[in-house]
Amino acid sequence: MIKIVTVIGARPQIIKAAALSRAIAKEYSGRITEVIVHTGQHYDANMSQIFFEELGIPAPDYNLGVGSGQHGRQTARMIEGLENILLEEKPDFLVLYGDTNSTLAGAISASKLHIPIAHIEAGLRSFNKTMPEEINRIMCDHASALLFSPTITGYNNLIREGFKTGNSGPFTSDNPAIYHCGDVMYDNTLHFSGLAQKPADVLITGEKYILATIHRDNNTDNPVRLSAIFSALHHFSLKHKQQVIIPLHPRTSGLLQKNLTGNLFADVSDNQFIGIIPPVSFLEMTWLEKNASQILTDSGGVQKEAYFFRKPCVIARPETEWVEIVYTGAGIIADADETRITQALEFFENNPVIDFPAVFGDGKAAEFICGEILKALVR
């Protein structure tokens, strides 16, 4: 029996972890034991607890309760807590997801203790180092022993950074293995799509609606950018008499009134077509994605889920790591530019996307990852 410690902390990591926990329970329960550590980076019930209940993830064995804070303080508190747990648990592998501060803290803690790291969602790059996530994922990749890339672009990014194909074990951060294995989020979408639930408090009034999420710091914290995004949605909704449903991240709700310029906050609040709601559960989000006509987002995960559900996606960022979505024509990068967002929404309103080639794997990425972790230990 091998022991892995999985570190999660932010909403998307909890969701991604469901796929691996499910694969372990289904196929590897006699061979892999999983200890789950929640850093406490996200802590509101609708940003954390709800996903454990709904997605059947085992309760965390530890919760560091770190909470919100400046990057350095938040990450440092995680490192301190994780180091103690890793010394106690002595896992064979540490499993990390994505690119958050919880990921970075896990990478630093484990690498100092020479515990090999398996990084799920390795190789993604925005080539924009002003994003905290870009720093986190580069540092995590270069401290990892097993790097699981969901896309071929991510895999090729790793090769460009000097990672080699064909290494043989034992794998360490000096002799890592890289894999192109598909996306655990696609595994989840296939598994949970049929269980999608309409959010009880949301009234859909027309035939079509846009689903939107915004939470990136460069959008929420910048009044010009945040206002450009909301102004575009406001005017599009009025022009087309089309609802815009926005399950709003707590970071954004906390800044909306302060950072929408001029009368925009009042205009958006008075706009009957704009429905700003608290974060919804994963099954509710899945329902909203499945039934939307198009999706506008700065989220990484929501861009991909738009694609899984064959919905066009307007990307409110200057670039994306998920370039396949743009190359296939299913996504348009519109940044936080009111004109570009409006043009992209209008384009997709009039030109539905019909081709969504399979670029995120076969829905079995988690099984593959478990298998490779096991193999890495017996080589």
Least spacing, CB of residue 72 vs ligand UD1, in Å: 11
Positions 215 through 254 that interact with ligand UDP (CB under 6 A): 215, 247
Stretch of 227-235, 264-272, 293-301, 330-338 contacting ligand UDP, by CB under 6 A: 293-301
Q: Cα dihedral sign for 173, 177, 178, 181?
A: negative
Q: Is residue 311 part of the contact set for ligand UDP (CB under 6 A)?
A: no
# residues contacting ligand UDP (CB under 6 A): 15
# residues contacting ligand UD1 (CB under 6 A): 20
Q: Which two tokens stand for residue 74?
A: 């938040």
Stretch of 77-85, 248-256, 314-322, 370-378 contacting ligand UD1, by CB under 6 A: 248-256
In the annotation, is 215 catalytic? yes
Q: Is the peptide bond between 170 and the residue preceding it cis, with omega within 30 degrees of 0? A: yes
In the chain, at which residue ranges do the beta strands (DSSP E only) sit? 2-8, 32-38, 62-63, 93-97, 117-120, 146-149, 177-180, 209-213, 243-247, 274-277, 294-297, 313-315, 331-333
Report the DSSP pairing between strands 313-315 and 331-333: parallel
Looking up tokens 């846009």 gives 210
Q: What amino acid is encoded at 305 in this protein? A: E
User: 10 Å Cβ neighbour count for 52?
Assistant: 19
Q: Is residue 11 part of the contact set for ligand UDP (CB under 6 A)?
A: yes
Stretch of 144-152, 161-169, 176-184, 278-286 contacting ligand UDP, by CB under 6 A: 278-286
Helix (H, G, I), strand (E, B) or coil at 8: strand
Positions 337 through 366 that interact with ligand UD1 (CB under 6 A): none
Least spacing, CB of residue 18 vs ligand UD1, in Å: 15
Least spacing, CB of residue 109 vs ligand UD1, in Å: 15
CB closer to ligand UD1 out of 142 and 251:
251
Q: Of these, 56, 65, 170, 254, which contacts ligand UD1 (CB under 6 A)?
A: 254
Q: Is residue 182 part of the contact set for ligand UDP (CB under 6 A)?
A: no
Q: Cα dihedral sign for 134, 140, 143, 145?
A: negative
Least spacing, CB of residue 14 vs ligand UDP, in Å: 9
The Cα 302–Cα 356 span in angstroms is: 15
The Cα 303–Cα 320 span in angstroms is: 9
Q: Let me know: does 164 contact 131? Beta carbons within 8 Å.
A: no
Least spacing, CB of residue 98 vs ligand UD1, in Å: 7
Q: Is residue 12 part of the contact set for ligand UDP (CB under 6 A)?
A: yes
CB closer to ligand UDP out of 86 and 336:
336
Out of 42, 215, 234, 249, the active site residue is 215
The edge-to-edge listing of strands for the beta sheet with 294-297 is 274-277, 243-247, 209-213, 294-297, 313-315, 331-333
The entry of ligand UDP, ligand UD1, none near residue 15 (CB within 5 to 8 angstroms by kind) is ligand UDP
Q: Let me know: does 74 contact 98? Beta carbons within 8 Å.
A: no
CB closer to ligand UDP out of 12 and 91:
12
Residues of this chain that interact with ligand UDP (CB under 6 A) are 11-12, 15, 213, 215, 247, 279-280, 282, 285, 299-302, 305
Catalytic residues: 215
Residues that bind ligand UD1 (CB under 6 A): 10-12, 41-44, 47, 68, 99-101, 132-133, 215, 217, 249-251, 254
